[in-house]
Structure formats: structure tokens, C-alpha cells
Structure 1
């Protein structure tokens, strides 16, 4: 396992001073397609905040299709371009979330908007989250534009994409491998290969695997540090916290938690997420009204503030929530989504194998199962649980600015020597 107590040096990409001049005002754009839940956008926002802290002269543009996560106070130097939204159905198909547009009309609207924004913004670095060509290939126009410019394009991948056979089939259908070869200078994986090795598991071609750099998981302690500037009220422990991401597919978990019995003296806090259908939120509020120890919130300005103080957490297994759990060390029961992707299930199983989380299969989800787990937590000593920082690499937010510095230094070297940029 990677000992993350000491930041491991990245692969040597440039043998000189890898820092750009202090006066260099970098422009960095990050894209997330945001078709289901808030995870992609929250990940990019966390990266943007880390970039601004490490590279204070930078300007960061977040391109997103999720207005629900745009109402927070953004630091100086960061702003959003919010696109008309996609929505992914339970079957994994795309459709317009709000506008009465056909799939093709919405794709063209978003594609042309993204291209126009990047043409005007002129980013030094463009980081694409998870989907090389964007949702419905909406990035093709922009990537072709940037290919003729000095912009360096990076594909950012979470630790686990999906089941191997599914990824290979979908990437083949989407022609992702040719797109990566044509447009992308590097692939940064927000994970640790000792937990999940992407290039081996997904059988990437050798030239694609050569582009990969593992930056480490994203330490959500940084999110908590940012939130400390404007703290929100947090109840007094002990309390159990339930988190279901955006909420659109978290109804079963939320209901089971709301009906579970908490240990004596404990409170329960349930965050439904802004995307949970209104009728289900109302039903959960009705359940809470019948008890004295349950609070139901639609959202919270910074859930990590609650997670840091919680005595236990029951949650789905999305990337961001899992990173927060690992960083803060809260005892966790993960109830992962298994449809339309297996990503959460695979992640939960890998981390359970390391002893870092407990896992409950969705088919076994019930209020009594949650009650039993919560009672088990009350008898555990902290020393009985492994510390995630000692098992896996959580240094992603430190490495990403380093990699961008190296990327810019290498680009400057290439411009002066007239050699093209290779993998970074």
C-alpha cells in the first residue's frame, strides 16, 4: 500500500524548475457533464479550490450542467458556466432535464456553448472529467478547436469507472481511445493503483496506459478547511448521519434510515439531496415529524462539517462521499448503487477488503439492518479501525497543482525546442 503520510514524488517529467513564473496568470477550465447527481461537479469544485490555493494567480472556469450546486460562495478566481441540463434515465439514456428540446438539439446547444466559452477563455489547461468526448460527444467541437491551440488537455478519471466489460464496450462504442490519442496530453486518475489499477483492469492499449498518472484520492479535509471560514450549525454528538448524494436514487436508503432505531441518546440527521423527488422528501419529513430524534434536511451548505462530527454515517458509495469518509475517518456503512453502473459496488468492496468501511448490499437494505450496524458501532473503539491515510494515497489535491506546474514548464520547454508534448 502507499504510505500517504509522506507525499510521494510524481514521475519525473521535467528535470528543471517545474514552477511557472510567479507572475504567470494561468487559465484553467474544468468540464463535468453532470447527467446524474452532483458528484462530478463537486469533484471539480474541490480541485478548483485546491488550484486557487496553490496557484493564487490562476483563473478557473467550471463548465457544468448542474445548477443545483452553483449557489455557494465561490472563492475569488473561480466561476461557473452552467449549461442547460442533461438528465440520465434509470436505463442510462440521456434526455433534456428541463427544456423541451430533442436530444440532438440540446447536444448542439451545449456543444456550441462550450466551444464558444473555451474560444473566449483561452485556457492554458483544460481538464475533462470522466467522459473523454463529453456527454453525447458534445466536446468534439471544443477539443478540435483546442487541438489547434497551445491548450494542454487532460482527462481526469475517478478511481473506478464501471465493471471492466462494460467500460470496454462503452469506450469502444464511443470511440474514446482514438479521441484520447488525438486530443489528450495526459490522463490523471484520482485514485490509488493499489486499490484499483485502471490500465490493467480495463486493458488499455500501451500508448494510452503510458499517459496515465495516479494523483491519489482527493482529500476532503481540504473541503472542510475551506468551509471553516463560514461554519454552519452542527448538532452536538452523538448523532448518526445519512447521505444519499444528490438524492435522485437514494429514496430506499433514506427511508430505511428514517425508520431505523438509533442507539440510546443518539440523534439522526438525514440529508435528502436537492434532486430527490418532492413527494419522497415530503414522506421523509412526515416520518421525522413522528419522532423526536430525527432531522431531515434537503441540503447542507457543507456536509463535511456534519460528517466530521458524526459518530457514524450511512451513505451511498459515490466517489466524493467515499473520499470524505476516508479523509475524516467516520465509521461508515456504505449501501452502494448497483445500477446503472457497478462502480459504487466495486469501490465499496475494495475498501471493505482493506477494513476501511462496512458494506450492505442494496438487496439486504432494511431499517433493522441499519439499526444493527449502528449498535455495533457503539461498541467499537477507534483503535479497532484502520486509518485510511496509512493505507491509501489521499494526496491528489497536493499533486494536481504540481502536475499543472510541470505541464506548463514542459509546454514552455516544448515551445522553445519545437518538440510536441508527450504524456504528462
Structure 2
């Protein structure tokens, strides 16, 4: 009954994002979905995720959300149910069934999988296998942020978990939300030639900028509000750290720099802790802020904000942790920033800040060097340098647009019977702000492999 469901139908896309209590993966995927639907108004998108934050994202027409039972990762390969009082194997089986049945019924033209090629504990593999065996025609795409972890760690983990095999067997394309000249993922993580040919570097994925007069008014309103009682030449320093679960060391140290910084430059601090900072840590910051305000210093501690872009635009200097979304949003504004990466366990943030600092896009302080004196020195230095960064090269921030267009190109590509991967798409209407030299889709029989490269003007 459903055998011809995909023919002559508006595009259907499914996305899978295993995010636990985090914000980053869901925000990035939601941003790409928003651009995809902006470009393809009659398409439908179904997001499968266990993030408990899905309901907080602004609803988009033709985009719905299927909440999976939540699980949390306790360590390498160790998961548990975070809400249901049930053994993990039972919850895992429930998730597998929900994913498989949903995808086989929804029959998407394209499936975008975020970060984990096989899903949590391999839960995607039954669905991926069924989509191929039943010849649904779904193009399967993996989306990866710019840096996953230290090369040795990723190579070992992907080998043990079977991620390399999953990409080789099931995926038509891998979208990289970064720049190859900054971090060459295929080289760093030892991708096979077949995998490397499927990589598409999109640039960094940013939320859309609001350039309306109202946005400019919001920026001015924020500056007027926070600087109202400060000296006329006061500078505004905004600190943020994504969800904030591990942001206390940075926020606490920054708070303690205000007295020193104030001696050189009148300054107002706005600390945005994030919704996941433990309550007792947030209360400590708020109490200490009250003490500083009693000394006629200007300091505000907020839990969250609705308009990240306006806060960044309002700042003379940003101090932040180095998560993907926070970092690229800072780059988007061009504001000068000091980034303090997470100490671990992943090397992702340390790697990103080192590479970005080398290009002059940000300033950075290693977490092992985080101290009141060191951070105060950097804050004072950056306030003297001016508000905007001037660097010899600029980051490619068109990842949202590029990813959406690659997804459309794949979804619009007919599937050749008997082939596992996407077929000829040389006529796909893909255009980019930056020249794109080629689009590559692998055509592979189960017994033999052919690689075809199609040039795009």
C-alpha cells in the first residue's frame, strides 16, 4: 500500500538527534531544519529525539517532534534511562521499535542523523537496515560538527563502536559543519577514501541573524539598560556558557576580576549562567554580585536570555566557554571574545579554541591557566583593542544555508534500483555564496562499488 508513497510527494525529511540534557545538537539541527523549510515550504520534517528541550524551540510550520524515552550517558558505552524506572535494555528496545516503525511509516525522502552514525548503543542500525532492505529510497545523511574529539580518541571509539562500518554501509553523504582548511576531518580521523569522498564541508552553522530595525533597537535597549548607572565611557562585558552545567569555574573567576578590571576601565559585567547551572552555584554568584553592587560595582547575574544575538551585539567583549553554537554565534557578530574551553573529557573545545585563536578569530585561555590574574589581564587587554575583531581571514558562516541545500539536492535525487547510495544529481539546483566545485554521491552495488563525481557549475 505504501510502496509508491515517496513518488511525486512533497519532500519528507526525518532527523535523529541524541542529545540527552544538552542544547547544542538540538539547536544546530533545528536551525538547519528551519532553513530547509524556508527554502522548501511544502516539505515536512519529523524530528526524533530524546531531548527534553524540544518543546522549547519555536514551532515551525510543517515540522513536528517525536519525543523518545530519555536516556543519559554515564560513561563510554554506559547508558541508563533518565526518567523511566525500567531496565536500560527494555528502554533501549522501546526506543529501537519507535525509531524503526516511525521511519518505515513516515518513509522520508531523506534522513539526517546527527553526530552518532549508529545512534545511541547502535539503536539506529535496525532502522537503517530496514530502510535499505525494503528499498524505501531514503537518502541517509550524517551531520557532524567541526571537531568531534582528539583524533586518537575518535579513531578508537569509532572502530570499537562500529561507526566506520555504519557510515560505509548506510550513508550517502556526510555533512561537516565546519571548514576543511581549519580542521580536516578525513585526515584527522583516518576516514577511508570511500568515506572521504562523501564528505561535504558546509561551513559553520549559525542561527539566522535578525537585521531588522527592531533588532537594532533591542541592542540599544540592552546597552541602555545595563549601562544606565555606569560611567559614560563604561564597557559592557557579556559572559555566557551555553547550558551552563559546568560554567561555574569560569563565571566565578570572571566575577572576581571585576574589581581589578574596574581600576583600568569602567566596566559592567552581565553573567548569563545558563539553565543547567546547579541552583546552589547560581545562588552563590548572585549573592556575591549583590556584595559587589554594594561597593558601587556594576554586575548582573541572569539565568538565561531569549535573544542571544542581541546580547552578543550589545557587548563590547564576550567571555564564554567554547561550545560550537556559542562560538560560531560570537564569530557571526564579529565581537571580540575570550573563550575558555571545557577541560574535558573531550578535547573538542580545546582544539577549536587553539585553531580559531591561531587565525585571530578569538582570544583564549586554557582552563588549566584559569585564574583571577590571568583572566583579568585578558579582559583588560581585549577591552583596549576595541569591540570588533580584525583578522586576515574570515570564517565561512554559511553552513545553515549550505547544509539545507545539500539536503534538498539529495532528497531530489532519484534512487537507482539495485544501488545502495544516491544516484546522479548533476542537475540538482544547488547554489552557494562560495564556489562549490563538485557534488559527490557514491553508487554502490552490494557486490561492487562505483564512484561517480559530478561537477557543478
Q: TM-score range by the shorter chain?
A: 0.7 to 0.9
Return the match for 2:188 from 179, 193, 201.
201
**Can you list the C-alpha shifts for 1:151-184, whole angstroms capped at 9, x where unaligned?**
1110001111111110000000111111112211
Classify 1:218/1:176 alpha carbon distance in 2 versus 1 (closer, same or farther; 3 Å).
same
TM-score with structure 2 length normalisation?
0.80
- Once the two structures are TM-superposed, the CA of residue 229 in structure 1 deviates from its matched residue by 12
Whole-Å separation in 2 of the counterparts to 1:36 and 1:419: 35
CA gap of 1:156–1:340, structure 2 versus 1, over 3 A, is same
Alignment of 1:318-397 (within 5 A): 318-381=323-386, 385-386=390-391, 390-397=393-400
Structure 2 residue matching 1:344: 3-state secondary structure? helix
Aligned partners of 2:54 and 2:65 also within 8 Å: no
SS in 2 for 1:289: helix
Pairing 1:164–2:151 present: yes
Q: Per-residue deviation at 1:298?
A: 1.8
Structure 1 residue 84 displacement after superposition: 2.6
Paired with 2:187 and 2:17, the residues of 1 have a C-alpha distance of 25
Does the Cα contact within 8 Å between 1:312 and 1:331 map onto a contact in 2? yes
Q: CA deviation at 1:44?
A: 0.6
CA positional deviation for 1:108: 2.1
TM-score of the superposed pair, with normalisation by structure 1:
0.86
Distance 1:256 1:163, change over 3 A: same
CA distance 1:72–1:173, change in 2 (3 Å): same
Q: Give the number of aligned pairs.
A: 398
Alignment pair present for 1:310 and 2:323: no
Q: Displacement, 1:247?
A: 1.5
Deviates more, 1:249-258 or 1:312-321: 249-258
* Unpaired stretches in structure 1, ≥5 consecutive residues: 1-20
Q: Is the 8 A contact 1:191 1:217 kept in 2?
A: yes
3-state SS of the aligned residue for 1:203?
coil
Deviation at 1:420, TM superposition (A): 5.0
**Aligned partners of 2:387, 2:255: CA distance in 1, in Å?**
26
Partners of 1:239 and 1:310 within 8 A in 2:
yes
1:59/1:322 Cα in 2 relative to 1: closer, same or farther (>3 Å)? same
Distance between the aligned counterparts of 1:120 and 1:46, measured in 2?
25
Instruction: Determine the structure 2 residue equivalent to 1:234.
Output: 222
Correspondence 1:237-256 to 2 at 5 A:
238-256=235-253
- Report the Cα distance in structure 2 between the residues aligned to 1:338 and 1:184, rounded to whole angstroms: 32
For the residues of structure 2 that align with 1:251 and 1:332, how far apart are their CA atoms?
Answer: 18
Q: Counterparts in 2 of 1:12-411, with a 5 A limit? A: 25-35=10-20, 37-68=22-53, 70-89=55-74, 93-147=78-132, 148=134, 149-220=136-207, 222=208, 224=210, 234-236=222-224, 238-261=235-258, 262-263=261-262, 264-292=265-293, 293-381=298-386, 385-386=390-391, 390-411=393-414
Give 1:13's aligned residue: none
Q: Tell whether the 8 Å contact from 1:28 to 1:61 is kept in structure 2 after alignment.
A: yes
Residue 381 and residue 152 in structure 1: after superposition, are their counterparts in 2 closer, same or farther (change >3 A)? Answer: same
Alpha-carbon separation, structure 1, partners of 2:66 and 2:45:
11
Give yes or no for contact 1:37–1:248 (8 Å, CA) kept in 2.
Answer: no
Distance (whole Å) between structure 1 residues aligned to residue 344 and residue 383 of structure 2: 32
Contact kept, 8 Å, 2:142 with 2:174, in 1: the verdict is: yes
User: Cα RMSD over matched residues?
Assistant: 2.7
1:104-142 Cα distance to aligned partner (Å, 9 max, x none): 233223222222332333221111111101111121222
- Partners of 1:95 and 1:272 in 2: how far apart? 27
Computing the radius of gyration over CA atoms, which structure comes out larger, 1 or 2? 2
Distance 1:283 1:99, change over 3 A: farther
Of 335-344 and 96-105, more deviation after overlay is shown by 96-105
1:211, CA displacement in angstroms? 1.1
Higher relative CO (Cα under 8 Å, sequence separation at least 6) belongs to: 1
Q: Which range moves more in the overlay, 47-56 or 111-120? A: 111-120
**Cα distance in structure 2, aligned partners of 1:102 and 1:276:** 28
Runs of 5+ in structure 2 lacking a partner?
A: 1-6, 228-234, 424-439, 442-457
